[in-house]
Amino acid sequence: MSSPKSRRRGGATIDLVLCSARAGRLHVLVVKSASGKPVLPFVWSVDGETLEETARELAKDITGHGIPWMAPGVATASKKHPAESALSVPFVGVMSATTPTASGSAWVAVDALPALAPRQKALAEGALETLRLHMDVAPVAFRLLPPAFTLSELQQVYELLLGRRLHKASFRRALQAAYLAEPTDEWRSEGRGRPAQLFRYSPRKRRGGHRSVRFDLIGR
Amino acid sequence: MSSPKSRRRGGATIDLVLCSARAGRLHVLVVKSASGKPVLPFVWSVDGETLEETARELAKDITGHGIPWMAPGVATASKKHPAESALSVPFVGVMSATTPTASGSAWVAVDALPALAPRQKALAEGALETLRLHMDVAPVAFRLLPPAFTLSELQQVYELLLGRRLHKASFRRALQAAYLAEPTDEWRSEGRGRPAQLFRYSPRKRRGGHRSVRFDLIGR
DNA sequence: ATGAATAAGTAACATTTCGCAACTAATGTC
DNA sequence: GACATTAGTTGCGAAATGTTACTTATTCAT
């Protein structure tokens, strides 16, 4: 897990919570530790690099791909870490469920986690909150999907993140008004029902773009 | 800065970015280090305590008061720290500008910071982003005010956080619809103009409370 | 005192957004 | 071909929001 050049700077590890959406549930990537137990990927903090740079390198080592969106999570020092690190600085990344998963790693649902070390379990469970915090301001939902996706898929991801069902027509109207997605000329037939048009994330420059006051979510 | 019981766990410091709003600008609390230079309050991470617990204790030591709202910031390992800590875990707290400031500490505007160590300067400059990230979901603006405040004061804090002017009537209607503030029977005369009624933050149980899709802020 | 200046607070109206239901369209299954 | 299933659209009433204008209460200058 720890490359030869790494030093145990500060006894802090960078822990990765890589997320994808499968079957309407949030999943995180789990690997096997040297002792065979399931762990979130982690690495000792490396001098001379940004924490996020280190996290992205680790992610690339594990998945073989760059991570389309990533944000820092909530640093945690309490509870037991698999490598006994004093402090974990988590990074929460998202990727498409269609990205091939390397052997030795597995996607597990966050609401049915295996026997992770307590700290890593808490980090994984905190990932959804981090995603929710950023989803209004960053293309989190879009990055949980492959480059081409259907609007139903996008809506399902939003429903997963928000934890509630959405209305189809309202969802599409709002999306269109924001000029965030562009239709491609491709269609996908999922078996039953009418084929769906594929869209691409392509934010166009918008006028206005001023955020308004939002009282409705304060205090639960 | 570092109490006798503290150990340099992990070479990580907890750095405090205490914020208040004064004259329409965001201010942070700066203290004098042993060598006389201005620094953000910090402490070496303490074993057996939650990071936030440690941060709250430090804040109480510095200000003499509890902090009405606090959130973890973005952990940073790059740039120079005043104590050469390998890693900073910042906490961003807010308090009323009316809270008496202890001697030896001073409020400075974030857009006119003194010669802080580069890392702490970056932490202070990142505070506004952290506040913005949470303001829709937590009573950040209310906690930047004293328990009793006028609606104009509240609006000014929102304008500071959002970075733009708001319309008075819309602001008040939205606030009323959210059942977040309760009028007191007190009024305050600020010198010129009609006296303003004082309000108190008192979130009442609301029906619904379901958050909606928000595309309008994605991708700047 | 009277009235200008200033700031708080309200009312009314146009515009936009949103929730909802009903509808059309394209595909697979029996 | 009838039917189930999923995608996508349309129209309407309700609710939220932006804007302008107005009223109320106070200080300050004359």
> Tell me, in Å, how far CA of A180 is from C1' of C12?
36
Q: Please tell me whether residues B113 and B32 are part of one structural domain.
A: yes
Nearest to B28 by CA among B109, B119, B114: B109
The pLDDT of residue B212 is 86
Residue of chain A with shortest Cα separation from B219 = A138
Residue of chain B with shortest Cα separation from A14 = B75
Q: Please tell me whether residues A40 and A80 are part of one structural domain.
A: yes
Average of pLDDT values for A121-142? Answer: 97
Split at pLDDT 50, 70, 90, the class of A205 is: confident
Q: Is the CB of B212 under 7 A from strand C?
A: yes
The phi-psi region of residue A163 (left if phi > 0; otherwise alpha if psi is between -120 and 50; otherwise beta) is left
Does A220 map to a domain?
A: yes
The pLDDT of residue A2 is 42
> Tell me, in Å, how far CA of A168 is from C1' of D2?
27
Split at pLDDT 50, 70, 90, the class of A191 is: confident
Split at pLDDT 50, 70, 90, the class of A209 is: low
Instruction: Report the protein residue whose CA lies nearest the C1' of nucleotide C21.
Output: A169
User: What is the C-alpha to C-alpha distance for residues A17 and A165, in angstroms, rounded to an integer?
Assistant: 25
Give per-residue pLDDT as tens, A145-158.
999 999 999 999 99
Q: How do beta strands A87-94 and A12-22 pair?
A: parallel
Nearest to B130 by CA among A134, A112, A145, A206: A134
* Residues in CB range of B9: below 8 A, 6 or more apart: A11, A77, A86, A87, B44, B45, B46, B47
Partners of A11 on chain B (C-beta within 8 Å) are 9-12
Does B19 map to a domain?
A: yes
With CB atoms and an 8 Å threshold, state whether A89 touches B89.
yes
Give per-residue pLDDT as tens, A34-91.
899 999 999 999 888 999 999 999 999 999 999 999 999 999 999 999 999 999 999 9
Does B195 map to a domain?
A: yes
The pLDDT of residue B4 is 37
Partners of A47 on chain B (C-beta within 8 Å) are 86
The pLDDT of residue B207 is 59
Interface probe, candidates A74, A215, A217, A220, chain B, greatest B C-beta count within 10 A:
A215
Instruction: Report the protein residue whose CA lies nearest the C1' of nucleotide C7.
Output: B193
> CATH number for the domain including B76?
3.90.79.10
- Give the tokens for residue A47: 């001098």
Please report, rounded to a whole number, the percentage of residues in chain A having pLDDT higher than 90: 83
User: What is the C-alpha to C-alpha distance for residues A103 and B102, in angstroms, rounded to an integer?
Assistant: 58
Rounded to the nearest angstrom, the minimum Cα separation between B78 and chain A is 6
Q: Please tell me whether residues B123 and B89 are part of one structural domain.
A: yes
Q: Please tell me whether residues A17 and A103 are part of one structural domain.
A: yes
> CATH number for the domain including A188?
1.10.10.10
Q: What is the pLDDT along chain B (220 residues), one digit of tens a residue?
A: 444 333 455 589 999 999 999 999 999 999 999 899 999 999 999 888 999 999 999 999 999 999 999 999 999 999 999 999 999 999 999 999 998 888 889 999 999 999 999 999 999 999 999 999 999 999 999 999 999 999 999 999 999 999 999 999 999 999 999 999 999 999 998 888 999 999 999 998 765 567 889 999 998 6
Mean of all residue pLDDT scores within chain A? 92
The DSSP string of B173-187 is HHHHHHT-EEEEEEE
Q: Is the CB of B212 under 7 A from strand D?
A: no
With CB atoms and an 8 Å threshold, state whether B219 touches A136.
no
Interface probe, candidates A128, A166, A211, chain B, greatest B C-beta count within 10 A:
A211
The pLDDT of residue B176 is 96
Q: Which of residues 161-220 of A touch strand C (CB under 7 A)?
A: 167-170, 173-174, 177, 187, 189, 191-195
- Give the tokens for residue A46: 């490396």
Q: Please tell me whether residues B168 and B200 are part of one structural domain.
A: yes
Q: Please tell me whether residues A112 and A158 are part of one structural domain.
A: no
User: What is the C-alpha to C-alpha distance for residues A71 and A84, in angstroms, rounded to an integer?
Assistant: 24
- Give the tokens for residue B127: 């505070």
Last residue of a domain, one of A75, A103, A134: A134
Q: Please tell me whether residues A118 and A169 are part of one structural domain.
A: no
How many CA atoms are closer than 13 Å to the CA of A118, on its beta-carbon side? Answer: 6
With CB atoms and an 8 Å threshold, state whether A211 touches B217.
yes
Partners of B74 on chain A (C-beta within 8 Å) are 72
Which stretch of DSSP H or E encloses residue A71? strand A69-72
Nearest to A89 among B75, B164, B209 (CB): B75
How big, in percent rounded to 5, are the helix, strand and coil portions of chain B?
Answer: 30, 25, 45
Direct distance between the N- and C-terminal alpha carbons of chain A, in angstroms, rounded to an integer: 39
Q: Please tell me whether residues A124 and A27 are part of one structural domain.
A: yes
Radius of gyration of the CA atoms of chain B, in A: 19
Does B142 map to a domain?
A: no
Last residue of a domain, one of A134, A165, A195: A134
Partners of B86 on chain A (C-beta within 8 Å) are 9-10, 12, 45, 47
With CB atoms and an 8 Å threshold, state whether B75 touches A51.
yes
CB B115 within 8 A of CB B38: yes
Nucleotides of C under 7 A from a protein CB: 5-12, 17-22, 25-29
**Containing domain of residue B36, as a range?**
9-134
Interface probe, candidates A53, A128, A218, A220, chain B, greatest B C-beta count within 10 A:
A218
Does B18 map to a domain?
A: yes
Does A80 map to a domain?
A: yes
The pLDDT of residue B208 is 56
Does A157 map to a domain?
A: yes
Number of domains in chain B: 2
Last residue of a domain, one of B134, B163, B179: B134
Which stretch of DSSP H or E encloses residue B89? strand B87-94
CB B124 within 8 A of CB B44: no
Q: Please tell me whether residues B127 and B181 are part of one structural domain.
A: no
User: What is the C-alpha to C-alpha distance for residues B123 and A23, in angstroms, rounded to an integer?
Assistant: 39
Nearest to B139 among A11, A74, A218 (CB): A218
Does A106 map to a domain?
A: yes
Q: Please tell me whether residues B92 and B169 are part of one structural domain.
A: no
The phi-psi region of residue A77 (left if phi > 0; otherwise alpha if psi is between -120 and 50; otherwise beta) is alpha
The pLDDT of residue B104 is 87
